[in-house]
A and B are shown apart, each in its own frame.
Chain A
Amino acid sequence: MKTFPLQIGTPDGLLFSGEVERVVCRTITGELAILAGHINYCTAIGMGQAHIILPDGSRRNAACIGGMLSMMHGSCSLLATTWEWEEDIDRERAEAAKTRAQEKLNQTQIDEQEYKIFRAKLQRALVRLSVNDH
């Protein structure tokens, strides 16, 4: 299958740069797969599982949270706020974050700001765990 150059960058570094067959991630409107030869395209990334298919057909899973995906002139750049490969996810930490966030959300005396923060934390933990479960 045809491949295209993909770059995955986060504030913590350039995590991937090379040819891929396909990249799949969740955008703000739903799941999206990009194949070679896509027209110029730009969208915002939501929270969810993502994976890329390398030219040899192997698949790498990751947790992807926030950021943007743009396809310009045949090359794709995925600039995520967080992108963690399946093997890099710290399961214990995610579990701990999940329970901590749930406890906080169960309390009644938190204000709206705090509620938003902890809900986002819970969501992030759940995304990480779901990728790790895969």
Chain B
Amino acid sequence: MAANMKAVKLRIKSVQNTMQITRAMELVASSKLRKAKERADNCRPYFQDLHKTLETIATGNTDFSSIFARKPVSDKWCYVVIAGDRGLAGGYNSNLLKRLEKEAEGKDYVVLPIGKKAVEYFRRRQVPILTESYAEVAQVAVGECFEISSLLCREFKSGKYGHISLVYTRFLSMLSQQPDFIHALPLTDLDQGREDKEPIRDLILYEPDSVEVFNAIVPEYLAGLIYGAVCESSVSELAARRMAMEAATDNAQEMIEKLNLNYNRARQASITQEITEIVAGSEGV
């Protein structure tokens, strides 16, 4: 019995230690979350406006002289995948990668992973990677987004791939985050899903001309989209981690309660046994 008690005691200790860690991680995530949420909230109107404006332009566009506005030249896709740097965030990374798998099934594609988890995943699966220089999502700020976007545009122009899509996690609320897809380039991809009715073509005046306007706008648009998606993803990651850690702490608490009960029971049993032994012994005398 004594051995059993000791084992239970040790187990309680170890669960308590784990609980301390998960609680600390929860606190860290929630304090970081506040800052990240502010950044995402600031960026969201820009992100949405940008996408909406380009969507309107894409639907209305009748001028296909720019490579960015033309029908894709190649069937190859390039996915910009924004995942997290670290695990222990519930299903955050795996949900995102699963969503990508579903979308990319049967397609020929390259990826530009942002975030260590994405890099590791694609390396393991031996998917061709465009660049690994942006492995840490925490270090991606506006400047890096512009670098990424100019790289993507250069490769796009050279015809290495014909489509660019973003895979990121959308922050719906503190409790729910959803992996999402955005078609970024070419602009003809933007009005997908609305092909059921012939759209009303608005004529737009481009100055000086559409090729030059698109050449100037598209890299900025892509950078803006990537930055927005990075903001959304990082806030989602923190929210997911906070939730996962909260659940882990709760579970640990529950486990400790159960173990305590077991411990007390074992203690009680050993006392009873000792008494029985003493009584039996005194009777024998």
Cβ proximity bits B213-230 to A, threshold 8 Å, 1 near / 0 not: 100110011011001100
Please give, as numbers and ranges, the residues of chain A lying within 8 Å of B212 by CB-CB distance: 28, 44
A40 touches B216 (CB 8 A): no
Cα A70 to Cα B56 with chains together (Å):
10
Please give, as numbers and ranges, the residues of chain A lying within 8 Å of B281 by CB-CB distance: none
Cα A67 to Cα B57 with chains together (Å):
15
A interface, size bucket: 20 to 34
Chain B binder among A11-19, A86-94, A95-103, A125-133: A11-19
Cα A32 to Cα B204 with chains together (Å):
17
Using known A-B contacts A7-B49, A70-B57, determine if residue A44 contacts B216 with beta carbons closer than 8 Å. yes
Using known A-B contacts A12-B42, A68-B221, determine if residue A40 contacts B205 with beta carbons closer than 8 Å. yes
A-B contact count (CB 8 A): 83
Which of A32, A41, A79 lies in contact with B49, CB distance below 8 A?
A79
Cα A14 to Cα B176 with chains together (Å):
25
Please give, as numbers and ranges, the residues of chain A lying within 8 Å of B50 by CB-CB distance: 9, 79
Q: Is B193 an interface residue (CB 8 A)?
A: no
Q: Which of A55-98 contact B (CB under 8 A)?
A: 66-68, 70, 72-73, 77, 79, 81
B217 touches A14 (CB 8 A): no
Q: Is B195 an interface residue (CB 8 A)?
A: no
Please give, as numbers and ranges, the residues of chain B lying within 8 Å of A77 by CB-CB distance: 49, 53
Q: Which of B32-77 contact A (CB under 8 A)?
A: 42-43, 45-46, 49-50, 53, 56-57, 60
B202 touches A81 (CB 8 A): no
Which of B46, B204, B206, B217 lies in contact with A11, CB distance below 8 A?
B46
Cα A44 to Cα B217 with chains together (Å):
6
Q: Is A110 an interface residue (CB 8 A)?
A: no
Q: Is B88 an interface residue (CB 8 A)?
A: no
Q: Which of A40-62 contact B (CB under 8 A)?
A: 40-44
B43 touches A79 (CB 8 A): no
Q: Is B203 an interface residue (CB 8 A)?
A: yes
> How many Å from the CB of A32 to the closest CB on chain B?
8
Please give, as numbers and ranges, the residues of chain A lying within 8 Å of B106 by CB-CB distance: none
Q: Is B208 an interface residue (CB 8 A)?
A: yes
Q: Which of B46, B60, B223 has the most CB of A within 10 A?
A: B46
Q: Is A107 an interface residue (CB 8 A)?
A: no
A43 touches B45 (CB 8 A): no
B227 touches A11 (CB 8 A): yes
B227 touches A43 (CB 8 A): no
Cα A28 to Cα B214 with chains together (Å):
12
Cα A93 to Cα B108 with chains together (Å):
48
A38 nearest CB neighbor, chain B only: B205
Please give, as numbers and ranges, the residues of chain B lying within 8 Å of A109 by CB-CB distance: none
Which of B142, B203, B206, B224 lies in contact with A79, CB distance below 8 A?
B224
A13 touches B45 (CB 8 A): yes
Please give, as numbers and ranges, the residues of chain B lying within 8 Å of A72 by CB-CB distance: 53, 56-57, 202, 204
> How many Å from the CB of A59 to the closest CB on chain B?
24
Please give, as numbers and ranges, the residues of chain A lying within 8 Å of B220 by CB-CB distance: 44, 66-68, 81
Q: A13-B42, A68-B213, A68-B216 are in contact. List 14 more A-B contacts (CB 8 A).
A: A10-B46, A11-B228, A12-B42, A27-B207, A40-B60, A41-B207, A42-B213, A44-B213, A44-B217, A68-B53, A70-B53, A72-B202, A73-B202, A81-B223
Q: Which residues of B contact A (CB under 8 A)?
A: 42-43, 45-46, 49-50, 53, 56-57, 60, 142, 202-208, 212-213, 216-217, 220-221, 223-224, 227-228
What would be 15 A-B contacts, judged by CB atoms less than 8 Å apart? A9-B45, A9-B50, A11-B142, A11-B228, A28-B216, A41-B204, A41-B205, A41-B207, A43-B207, A67-B220, A68-B53, A68-B221, A72-B202, A77-B53, A79-B46
